[in-house]
């Protein structure tokens, strides 16, 4: 009987342990918390959720909350809720004032920025031109780890990396006139939209009185970068439980007015869970835009759900088949383009929820030229080109396929089949994404499938120039360099449109890479939510303070 | 006994060191550069170099390892490449989440498995035995991602009685009941496997014991059936059962990966997958260390428990 007593005791201990763990696990106190009080308040509905709480589904976790160093889209999206930017961009390349009341230039080289007089940080300190200047100085400081160097590199006094020259200790192109006014000067005249997007829309303004408490070199690894304590935008940071959720609450001092939805939870879930969470009401909306993505296979189910609003739009996400230009000449590359049936990929794998990538821009870009005709699927032409080029078709070509994106993996088989029909001898080699990217980056590949998120600004020097850091195709072409240079230095939108039309045509004819498809982005949200994702995803948050739930 | 424990702990130190060296080599041998993931497409060479230096991966492997080891001795596990948070700050939350799930799973599994295994052995080859064995085979064979999704579909989407995932209702009133509700479905999925597995072990060892001479002697002496079962039968089955438990627990730290993913349970398994995908070396090293320590600790505990349940075993 002693055994029986021991077992009973053991069971009781285990019960006690489970209760203890459940009681102490998960709740406040164990996560990373900011200085704000995160107590939820408000009306609690029957299912325990609050009417003034917004639940957003993300499929990727944020890589920290450093306003100066955020390479991932999730962090950038959340930072937009926490830190002000000078301008808003409700539609692609259409700019509205945000922290800046006006952003004007007469000569395309000197930009006068006037800030709102009423703007305050969440701790009551005013947001002034000094904060803007200090932000730009931090980015330009060689000691500061930042992703925004290239964004400000056109300013006077800075190198092409966006850092100031040795010995300098400030940015010559930034002049603070008074508390509300500052003037930015560029090295040469530029397209105003370029500066408006790169600095006005992309750079988050940081609170000088907080940031200057840290050594510039230490900022990236400090709590400034992980647990923001002061906010200047719609929401304030409350806490982040790693890989699980981010909690925010309305910033009462926000200059456009306190947000209607007082609490926001951004939940990190996988694609399949995002679908069930949307269906069950566990999240009100998917973040969309490549960071809250529902699987293509579930699109029909979500579209048919009576409680959900579903729409799809062309976006800036693209998939390319990169071709190592050092190994294949233009005729062979063009033959590949003719051989691949991209219409079939879009139809079969995306059921129409994607577009064929005819050029290096998607139809969401204002620089996309619909008159540049697509290379059709034409196996005979592919064979002809291959024959003319004298390419040895017995040569085995490896197609590098990264895992983790189901549609891309499936497209690889169709591509392999298409290329075989034209006479190529292709085998697939599959790697996890990081390995595949590393191999492609180092040029250790022949052809490979990689997705690239494009920007509103049409400059793609980073992709197709010999000096570009993401020149995965190892493109080295004089005419291309010339067109990229012209596009970068041109100062009017009309002129740039002409240049980029020419670039699209040339890019297509040279087949530097095969543009496969641009996947549409989905707006999936609860019908009770008023607000949410816009057609131009990047500008979706411009009216977030007005979003409500019925 | 005290001497034995000290000796065992001393042996674990070089073993742990070897494990960390081995893991460090494996983690660093994995192809792919973490900086590729943390820089934007238009980053310059200078930015990449600055990031490599900031992450500490610009130095040779041996130096990186000794720096890591030196930090470890001081209780510092480094900071996560992905979130830049100190690993030591995040680790306890993840361990609590996983251990909560593990404890409730083990409780449910063994509470069901031990009596069911005994009944199954007692009624060997009868209808009840066939039923229990059949159901436990089903529990072992059913893939947990499928079972998990099926449960979510039925209980969360169709009936709406249980949450789809997470550890608690965010922004809700919270509390013990709410957390218990979140625990039910993942526990069922994990327990289905562990319980079925345990039933088979208990059944097999009890069948052997029922055939032993001392059991026949006890019955011949006219002892009560419950005394024979608990005092002579189950007591002798403890050694193999403890062996299974001591290997189950460390396995669950890794085995809960799929279940944690399906139910968005913010534990070690989910953290490990994201760390692998992000080549987050400091996080991976910390998780490996936790796993290695738990294997060594539970093996030691098992050895001590053998002595407690079987007087013939002495150290």
Residues 6+ apart with CB under 8 A from B212: B236
Phi then psi for A325, rounded to 5 degrees?
Answer: -65, -20
Does residue B83 lie within any of the structural domains?
A: no
Of B54, B173, B183, the CB nearest to A44: B173
> Do B6 and B57 belong to one domain?
yes
> Do B14 and B50 belong to one domain?
yes
Distance CA A407, CA A410 (A): 5
pLDDT: which is higher, A88 or B278: A88
> Do A482 and A513 belong to one domain?
yes
**Domain hosting residue A48, numbered range:** 30-64+232-313+521-549
For residues A316 and A104, the answer to whether their CB atoms sit within 8 Å is no
Angle, helix A379-389 to helix A330-339, in steps of 10 degrees: 160
Distance CA A471, CA A324 (A): 10
ipTM tops 0.90: no
Residues of B in contact with A25 (CB under 8 A): 93, 96-97, 100, 167, 179
Residues of B in contact with A470 (CB under 8 A): 41-42
Using CA atoms, how far residue B222 sits from A100, A295, B215, B225, B235, in Å, is 94, 67, 11, 9, 19
**Number of compact structural domains in chain B:** 2
> Do B43 and B137 belong to one domain?
no
Distance CA A343, CA A514 (A): 13
Residue of B nearest to A262 (CA): B171
State the CB neighbour count (10 A cutoff) for residue B53: 12
Of B32, B92, B261, the CB nearest to A270: B261
Residues 6+ apart with CB under 8 A from B144: B189, B190, B192, B193, B258, B259, B262
Residues of B in contact with A469 (CB under 8 A): 41-45, 48
Instruction: Please judge whether B83 and A4 are an interchain contact, meaning their C-beta atoms are less than 8 angstroms apart.
Output: no
Instruction: Please judge whether A1 and B45 are an interchain contact, meaning their C-beta atoms are less than 8 angstroms apart.
Output: no
Does residue A79 lie within any of the structural domains?
A: no
**pLDDT for residue A100:** 97
Phi then psi for A288, rounded to 5 degrees?
Answer: 65, -160
Distance CA B276, CA B37 (A): 12
Beta bridge pairs of residue A356: A517
For residues A281 and A330, the answer to whether their CB atoms sit within 8 Å is no
Length of chain B: 315
CATH number for A359: 3.10.105.10
Can you give the pTM of this predicted structure? 0.85
End-to-end CA distance of chain A: 62
CA distance B41 to chain A (A): 6
> Do B69 and B92 belong to one domain?
no
> Do A404 and A467 belong to one domain?
yes
List helix spans (H) across A307-394. 330-339, 342-350, 379-389
Burial of B310 (0-12, 13-18, 19+ CB in 10 A): middle
> Do A291 and A343 belong to one domain?
no
Does residue B314 lie within any of the structural domains?
A: no
**Number of compact structural domains in chain A:** 3
> Do A53 and A127 belong to one domain?
no
Give the pLDDT band of residue B91 (cuts 50, 70, 90). Answer: very high
**pLDDT for residue A19:** 66
State the CB neighbour count (10 A cutoff) for residue B273: 16
> Do B46 and B174 belong to one domain?
no
Does residue A497 lie within any of the structural domains?
A: yes
Beta bridge pairs of residue A419: none
Does residue B52 lie within any of the structural domains?
A: yes
> Do A288 and A401 belong to one domain?
no
> Do B68 and B111 belong to one domain?
no
Taking alpha carbons only, the member of A15, A219, A198, A229 closest to residue A123 is A229
Does residue A350 lie within any of the structural domains?
A: yes
Taking alpha carbons only, the member of B25, B172, B200 closest to residue B112 is B200
CA distance A64 to chain B (A): 4
Instruction: Please judge whether A31 and B93 are an interchain contact, meaning their C-beta atoms are less than 8 angstroms apart.
Output: yes
**pLDDT for residue A274:** 92
Does residue B81 lie within any of the structural domains?
A: no
CATH number for B271: 1.10.3720.10
Residue that is written with structure tokens 């009133």 in the block: B173
Does residue A380 lie within any of the structural domains?
A: yes
Using CA atoms, how far residue A512 sits from A361, A362, B252, in Å, is 14, 17, 49
> Do B135 and B168 belong to one domain?
yes
- pLDDT 10s digit of each residue in chain A, 550 long? 455 566 667 667 766 766 666 666 544 433 444 544 433 333 333 344 568 999 999 998 898 899 998 878 899 999 999 999 999 999 988 999 999 999 999 999 999 999 999 999 999 999 999 999 999 999 999 889 888 888 898 999 998 888 888 777 789 999 999 999 999 999 999 999 999 999 999 999 999 999 999 999 889 888 999 999 999 999 999 999 988 999 999 999 999 999 999 999 999 998 888 999 999 899 999 998 888 888 888 888 899 999 999 998 898 889 999 999 999 999 999 999 999 999 999 999 988 889 999 889 999 999 999 999 889 999 999 999 999 999 999 999 999 999 878 889 999 999 999 999 999 999 999 988 878 888 898 899 999 999 998 888 899 998 999 888 789 999 999 999 999 999 988 888 889 999 999 999 999 999 999 999 998 889 999 999 999 999 899 899 999 999 999 8
Residues of B in contact with A439 (CB under 8 A): 31
Does residue A23 lie within any of the structural domains?
A: no
Burial of A214 (0-12, 13-18, 19+ CB in 10 A): middle
**pLDDT for residue A4:** 59
Residue that is written with structure tokens 């803007």 in the block: A132
CA distance A522 to chain B (A): 22
> Do A335 and A257 belong to one domain?
no
**Domain hosting residue B38, numbered range:** 2-73
> Do A171 and A196 belong to one domain?
yes
Does residue A74 lie within any of the structural domains?
A: no
């Amino acid at each position: 009987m002693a055994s029986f007593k021991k077992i009973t005791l053991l069971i009781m201990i285990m019960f006690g342990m489970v209760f203890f763990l459940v009681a102490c696990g998960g709740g406040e106190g164990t996560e990373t918390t900011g200085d704000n009080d995160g107590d939820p308040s408000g009306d609690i509905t029957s299912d325990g959720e609050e009417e003034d709480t917004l639940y957003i589904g993300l499929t990727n976790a944020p890589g920290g909350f450093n306003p100066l160093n955020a390479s991932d889209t999730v962090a950038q999206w959340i930072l937009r809720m926490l830190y002000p930017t000078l301008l808003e961009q409700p539609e692609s390349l259409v700019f509205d004032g945000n922290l800046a009341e006006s952003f004007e230039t007469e000569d395309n080289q000197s930009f006068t920025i006037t800030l709102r007089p009423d703007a305050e940080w969440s701790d009551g300190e005013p947001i002034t031109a000094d904060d803007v200047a200090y932000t730009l100085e931090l980015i330009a400081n060689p000691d500061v780890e930042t992703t925004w160097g290239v964004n400000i590199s056109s300013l006077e006094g800075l190198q092409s990396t966006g850092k100031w020259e040795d010995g300098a200790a400030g940015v010559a192109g930034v002049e603070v006139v008074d508390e509300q006014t500052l003037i930015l000067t560029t090295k040469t005249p530029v397209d105003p939209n370029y500066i408006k997007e790169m600095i006005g829309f992309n750079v988050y303004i940081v609170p000088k009185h907080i940031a200057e408490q840290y050594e510039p070199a230490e900022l990236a690894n400090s709590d400034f970068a992980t647990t923001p304590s002061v906010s200047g935008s719609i929401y304030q940071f409350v806490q982040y439980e790693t890989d699980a959720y981010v909690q925010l609450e309305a910033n009462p001092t926000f200059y456009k007015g306190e947000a209607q939805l007082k609490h926001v939870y951004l939940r990190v879930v996988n694609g399949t869970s995002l679908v069930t969470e949307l269906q069950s009401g566990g999240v009100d909306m998917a973040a969309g835009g490549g960071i809250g993505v529902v699987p293509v296979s579930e699109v029909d189910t979500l579209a048919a759900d009576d409680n959900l609003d579903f729409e799809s739009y062309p976006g800036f996400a693209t998939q390319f088949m990169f071709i190592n230009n050092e190994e294949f000449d233009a005729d062979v590359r063009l033959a590949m383009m003719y051989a691949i049936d991209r219409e079939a990929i879009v139809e079969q794998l995306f059921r129409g929820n994607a577009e064929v990538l005819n050029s290096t821009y998607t139809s969401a870009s204002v620089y996309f030229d619909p008159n540049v005709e697509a290379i059709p699927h034409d196996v005979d032409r592919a064979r002809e080109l291959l024959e003319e080029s004298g390419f040895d078709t017995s040569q085995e070509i490896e197609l590098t396929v990264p895992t983790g994106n189901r549609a891309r993996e499936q497209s690889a088989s169709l591509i392999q089949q298409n290329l075989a029909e034209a006479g190529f001898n292709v085998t697939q080699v599959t790697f996890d994404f990081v390995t595949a990217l590393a191999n492609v980056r180092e040029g250790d590949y022949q052809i490979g499938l990689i997705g690239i998120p494009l920007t509103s600004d049409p400059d793609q020097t980073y992709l197709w120039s010999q000096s570009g850091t993401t020149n995965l195709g190892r493109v080295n072409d004089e005419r291309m360099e010339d067109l990229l240079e012209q596009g970068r230095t041109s100062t009017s939108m009309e002129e740039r449109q002409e240049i980029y039309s020419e670039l699209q045509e040339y890019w297509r004819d040279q087949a530097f890479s095969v543009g496969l498809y641009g996947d549409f982005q989905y707006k999936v949200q609860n019908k009770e939510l008023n607000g949410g994702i816009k057609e131009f995803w990047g500008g979706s948050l411009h009216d977030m303070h007005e979003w409500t739930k019925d | 006994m005290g001497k034995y424990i000290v000796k065992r702990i001393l042996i674990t130190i070089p073993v742990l060191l070897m494990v960390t060296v081995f893991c460090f080599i494996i983690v660093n041998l994995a192809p792919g550069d973490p900086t590729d993931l943390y820089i934007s497409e238009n980053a310059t060479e200078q930015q990449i170099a600055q990031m490599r230096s900031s992450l500490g991966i610009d130095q040779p492997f041996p130096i990186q390892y000794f720096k890591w080891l030196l930090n470890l001795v001081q209780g510092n596990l480094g900071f996560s490449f992905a979130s830049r948070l100190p690993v030591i700050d995040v680790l306890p939350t993840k361990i609590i989440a996983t251990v909560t799930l593990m404890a409730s799973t083990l409780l449910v599994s063994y509470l069901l498995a031990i009596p069911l295994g005994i009944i199954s052995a007692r009624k060997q080859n009868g209808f009840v035995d066939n039923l229990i064995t059949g159901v436990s085979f089903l529990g072992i064979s059913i893939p947990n991602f499928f079972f998990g999704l099926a449960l979510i579909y039925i209980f969360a989407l169709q009936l709406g009685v249980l949450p789809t995932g997470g550890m608690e209702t965010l922004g809700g009133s919270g509390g013990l009941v709410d957390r218990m509700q979140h625990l039910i479905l993942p526990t069922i999925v994990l327990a289905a496997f562990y319980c079925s597995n345990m039933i088979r072990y208990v059944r097999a060892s009890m069948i052997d014991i029922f055939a032993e001479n001392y059991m026949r002697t006890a019955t011949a002496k006219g002892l009560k059936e419950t005394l024979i079962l608990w005092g002579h039968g189950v007591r002798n089955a403890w050694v193999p059962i403890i062996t299974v438990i001591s290997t189950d627990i460390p396995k669950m730290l890794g085995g809960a990966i799929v279940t944690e993913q399906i139910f968005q349970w913010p534990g070690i398994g989910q953290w490990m997958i994201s760390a692998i995908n992000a080549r987050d070396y400091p996080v991976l090293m910390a998780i490996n260390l936790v796993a290695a320590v738990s294997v060594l600790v539970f093996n030691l505990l098992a050895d001590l428990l053998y002595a407690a349940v079987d007087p013939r075993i002495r150290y």
